[in-house]
Amino acid sequence: MQQTTAAGLRASLVAPAMLAAFFLLAGLAVPSVASAKFSVGEFEWFKCNKQTPSLRCGVIVLPRDYSKPNGKKVALVAAKAPATGKRKGTIFYNPGGPGSSGVQQVLGGVASNLPASIRRHFDFVSWDPRGVGQSRPSIEGCKAVGGEIETIPEIGIPTRSQWLSYLAEARAQQRQLGLQCLPKNLGIARHMGTNDVVRDLNMMRKAVGDRKLTYWGASYGTRIGYVYALRYPQRLRAILLDGSVDPRRGWREFARVRPQATDRALEVMARPRVRPAFAEDILATRDDLRVNGPITVEAGRFDQWTFEAFVGQNLFAQFQWTNIQELIDAINQVRGTSRSVKRARGVVQRAYEQVRDRPLYPWIVTPRAGNPTANALLTNRIINYLDYADGNIPGDVAREIFLGNVRNHPFFAFNTAGTVANSAGIGSLKRDPVPLTSTPRFARIAREIKNVLISGSTGDGATPAPWTAQMAASFPRAAVIRFNGWQHVNWMAIQSACVNDAITRFILTTKRPDPKRPSVCPFAPPAPPLAP
């Protein structure tokens, strides 16, 4: 077996600093010259740190380019919550993004939310995919470019010309980031696509000794899951696709449809017998900022666009709705005569910093030198660009898509300027498109696959409900669980026996949900912060 060395990697992983995900492994190169050696295709596990004695961290070394198995390598870092009883297998988990750190999720305790029956019989493993987080090499050294885009007004509704100027400026910043950061990361950037991530997942399945794969994919993780199912249909034990992406269409349709998620979530929420008061408060606060202007805080000016971005970052997880309500209350206090204005301004300040300092998905981090947000943004863009044949959207088409989004999904569409300009500055990369179930070959494979469970919400604020429908239509023999709520990823994130028991049973036994259960599970807490 080929060997590579990584004692320095191991030493950093076992340090107490493991708890501070942003600072892990800073400046560390892999492979490094040291005494410990890792066999290619095999995990080495060890204690993560004293603070989490029950968890294990591990490294697996794999080919960087699978067409050149004897060439350069990647070292993937993983974290494991071992089974508490008699082990039956491993659940592999990807939290989405693309670009999210699975290691951070495990160290943060995600496994503790799972049912005891699952924890008893399954190791729970997540990893930082190639180019991401603590895996090496990873995207590093990116510096933030540009500043706030000022071509859309703080007050009022932008004109068509202002929207187009905003799009052009967003594209220019995307291009600047790509040209500044991509050249120093080309070695790994060429091999970060989901097709290679799926090959890695299959190697990891073999490395833990599982004959077939048990997998939970969240959000972008569903892309990994469905591609694995199409590539290795005979290796499926139980695949949970939770908060699906569209497996049938490419990047242009992603750019067209993604913005509707947040707007549709607000539309559903505003219906009678749902949560109309909360939806009205959100829109009223946006309108207040639109009409009366922004609130000045220490870091800048909190305007209508910052508010919309904050809502978009927090609406897709029901437990985060209290963050939105706290901000709404704070804005009302600043506007009024409340004596607690100082505290209220602090709430607005923190919300401003969250929006300005994080990408769309706030759990995406790359703890390397440079700006973490810039690193994460480029990581996300690279993976999406490699994955789709139509990832380079021509300028006229980009303008048409963006203006259509602004017209049809006015609450959140401004945040998608970067989506239609995703290829700016990274167009030199050779794409490696994932299979789409709209093609005859993969449609035939998908029709025969049955070891899949699809879960989605009617008001998902991150991946639109129609994408769950597309996933279900692509895999007609799969089981589907729909939840009447706004949770983006459902399993154990809501207090719903209708949702959780069916998924748990499937993971434990591979048995499909009871056909007598409701076709759509009713709304369940965490509820929004306002009384129904």
For residue 119, what pLDDT is reported? 98
Tell me the CA distances in angstroms from 14 to 17, 168, 270, one per residue in order: 8, 46, 49
Position with higher pLDDT, 415 vs 505: 505
For residue 524, what pLDDT is reported? 86
User: For the chain, what is the mean pLDDT?
Assistant: 87
For residue 422, what pLDDT is reported? 94
Nearest Cα to Cα of residue 427 among 257, 251, 259, 220: 251
**Residues, the chain:** 532
- Of 175-189, 204-218, 285-299, 352-366, least confident by mean pLDDT is 352-366
47, 57 in Cβ contact below 8 A? yes
Judged against a pLDDT cut of 50, whether residue 35 lies above it is answered with no
- Of 102-106, 291-295, 414-418, least confident by mean pLDDT is 414-418
Judged against a pLDDT cut of 80, whether residue 34 lies above it is answered with no
Question: Residue 171: helix, strand or coil by DSSP?
Answer: helix
For residue 3, what pLDDT is reported? 34
Which pairs count as long-range contacts for 224-227, CB under 8 Å and 24+ apart, including other chains?
224/94, 224/194, 224/197, 224/198, 225/94, 225/452, 226/437, 226/446, 226/452, 226/471, 226/474, 226/475, 227/194, 227/195, 227/198, 227/434, 227/435
Q: What is the per-residue pLDDT across 139-164, written as a single tens digit (0 to 9) for each?
A: 999 988 766 667 889 999 999 999 99
Q: What is the mean pLDDT of residues 208-219?
A: 98
272: burial class by Cβ within 10 Å (0-12, 13-18, 19+)? exposed
- Highest-pLDDT range among 259-263, 269-273, 458-462, 501-505: 501-505
Q: What percent of the chain has pLDDT over 90?
A: 70
For residue 148, what pLDDT is reported? 66
Judged against a pLDDT cut of 90, whether residue 64 lies above it is answered with yes
Q: What pTM did the predictor assign?
A: 0.91
Judged against a pLDDT cut of 70, whether residue 363 lies above it is answered with no
Judged against a pLDDT cut of 60, whether residue 12 lies above it is answered with no
For residue 529, what pLDDT is reported? 39
Q: How confident is the model at residue 369 (pLDDT cuts 50, 70, 90)?
A: low
Judged against a pLDDT cut of 80, whether residue 206 lies above it is answered with yes
For residue 49, what pLDDT is reported? 83
